[in-house]
Structure 1
Amino acid sequence: MGKQIDFQKYLEDYIENLGQDLKIRWNSWEKNLDEVEVYEVIGGLMARQVSIANEFSRSANLWNPNIAPILLRSMIDNYLNFCWILLQPLERSQKFIYFGLGQDKIQMSHRKLLQENNPSEENQLVIDSIESWINSQNYEFLTIVNVGSWSEKSVREMATETNELELYNYVYQPFSNVAHNSWSHIGKYNLGVSDNPLHRFAKVPAIYKYTYDFYYMDLAMKYVDMMFLKFDAFFKVKVDVMRAREIFYEEVDNIGRDK
């Protein structure tokens, strides 16, 4: 019997190395604190990408066509935001922040209305927390509320402007069908053909059990890599060590080889 491979160990190594990938880039990035919003937004978007990949790598039961595209679509959306912000880093980073604060202001308004009609200590704590968060960055009464897209562009327009239309067409769009529970997905993955011939092959609800497919985990690794490579090229950050994804595949390739 061959040696049993602890595949999870290699994924844990990947998670640790991915954290180092982010840390190296952050520490190697020359910063101008007069434009602090750029560093907060760009750093935050990269940390978000790493966080999703980390959680995904620990949840192999999600590596299937019914669930994985929901998280992977979020990673692509994050990457496209990242690329679009890089075209005008300061202006668009500020826009990204102000839109987010505006969304919090809307949520606080809803909470305040709820408090007026049905007061509770728990709800007031939420209101105080949101208000404190907004005021820590921008006075709440100065925060502009925008109910549209933060970029005032469609995702497709952002993809076009950043030369990522292929990614949008072939991955983001089909993954959106999963995230939005469209017929394109439900008809294939949540229905089956009735086994009763009298039903004229009508579709009936079906719950399928999936085995994990590492293909989806590889996509998550790829989308983190894409963001790091874009960051390195744009900010001219030189990184002399292998990236986590490269290390992972080198380790996996060495499994079973004679030492």
Structure 2
Amino acid sequence: MCNLIMEEKGLNITSCINNYVENVRSSLKIRWNKWDKNLIEHSTYEVIGGILARQCSLAIQLSTNLQMWNEEIAPIILRTMADNHINLAWILVNPKEHSEKFIIHGLGQLKLDLEHRKNNLDETMKGEIEEYIEREEQFINSQKYTFLTEVNLGSWSGLNTRKMAEEAGIIDFYNYVYQPFSNCTHSTWAHISKYNTDLSKNPLHKFFRHPIIIDFEPHINYLNLAGKYLDKSMREFDRVFKLNINEDSAFDILLKELNELSSEKNN
């Protein structure tokens, strides 16, 4: 349960957020249960189901943490959601082949990490690290034997993110969401100059920029964006697999409840 109060609006949105979280969990469960599965090709279902679960988890974490609703933190989460949505959309173009690529690359990355750790064992923590390595190898082997796992140092899809978005027909999403939020994620000057520096008020300093730390106020728009991106992923999944989902989306219900709460406050 969360307790969220939007001070600038005088609104306690706790019940709206708690309902949203429950509706998100329910929407994932409904889709998973309605999705006809072929257990012989289980990788497709594991990957797509896992990506949807991560999208739900990210939306829940952002929605229940008011202190993240600002220009410094929210774009990092939203950029991850954008990345996740592009991955999903591209995988849905060819679910079986693209899901297998996703798994092979992921397990390969785990194996690469293990090899690095084996080659750099700290003698003072050798026992603890060896236990960790053994657990990770067991996890990899539960899906695919370690010696068969490929290591791919490039993009898991063989394409850059922009090309994936183009092939999935969502290049506008890439241009207007993924790319702008990347500035915050990668701490580029485009972000830092706006939110971590300010012009000196002394005219003798010749417009010298000095470092600042902003005390951000939460903006509910970031909650709206997280809900919107999750809703996009759910709708894309429903479109491809032609699921008959009769329930209102968690996002639509959230918007309705927030609008009703705002109307009550103004009356």
Q: 1:114 aligns with which of 111, 117, 120?
A: 120
The answer to whether structure 1 residue 201 and structure 2 residue 207 are counterparts is yes
Q: 1:182 aligns with which of 179, 185, 188?
A: 188
Tell me the alpha carbon deviations over residues 161-212 of structure 1, each in whole angstroms, 9 at most, x when there is no partner: 1111111111111100110110111111100112333321110101111111
Residue identity matched to 2:103: I
Which residue pairs with 1:42 in the alignment?
48
Which residue pairs with 1:192 in the alignment?
198
TM-fit CA distance, 1:257: 4.8
The answer to whether structure 1 residue 219 and structure 2 residue 225 are counterparts is yes
Which residue pairs with 1:105 in the alignment?
111
The 1-side partners of 2:189 and 2:181 are apart by 13
Q: 1:59 aligns with which of 46, 65, 74?
A: 65
The 2-side partners of 1:58 and 1:179 are apart by 21
Which residue pairs with 2:6 in the alignment?
none
Which residue pairs with 1:253 in the alignment?
259
| SS, match of residue 254 in structure 1 | helix
Tell me the alpha carbon deviations over residues 103-135 of structure 1, each in whole angstroms, 9 at most, x when there is no partner: 000100011012276652221122112111110
Residue identity matched to 1:146: N
The 2-side partners of 1:118 and 1:154 are apart by 41
Runs of 4+ in 1 over 3 A off after TM superposition: 116-119
Which residue pairs with 1:155 in the alignment?
161
Which residue pairs with 2:33 in the alignment?
27
Same amino acid, percent of matched pairs: 45
5 Å-filtered alignment, 1:139-150, equals 139-150=145-156
5 Å-filtered alignment, 1:87-106, equals 87-106=93-112
TM-fit CA distance, 1:5: 4.4
Which residue pairs with 1:18 in the alignment?
24
The 2-side partners of 1:29 and 1:204 are apart by 55
TM-fit CA distance, 1:252: 2.4
The 2-side partners of 1:47 and 1:183 are apart by 33
The 2-side partners of 1:147 and 1:117 are apart by 28
The 2-side partners of 1:253 and 1:178 are apart by 30
Residue identity matched to 2:16: Y
| SS, match of residue 120 in structure 2 | helix
The 2-side partners of 1:232 and 1:111 are apart by 41
The 2-side partners of 1:247 and 1:196 are apart by 50
TM-fit CA distance, 1:39: 0.4
| SS, match of residue 208 in structure 1 | coil
The 1-side partners of 2:214 and 2:87 are apart by 34
Which residue pairs with 2:5 in the alignment?
none
Structure 2: tracts of 5 or more residues without a match:
1-9
The answer to whether structure 1 residue 234 and structure 2 residue 243 are counterparts is no
TM-fit CA distance, 1:60: 1.2
The 2-side partners of 1:22 and 1:230 are apart by 13
Deviates more, 1:16-25 or 1:60-69: 60-69
The 2-side partners of 1:62 and 1:35 are apart by 39
Residue identity matched to 1:16: E
Q: TM-score, normalised by structure 2?
A: 0.92
How many pairs align?
255
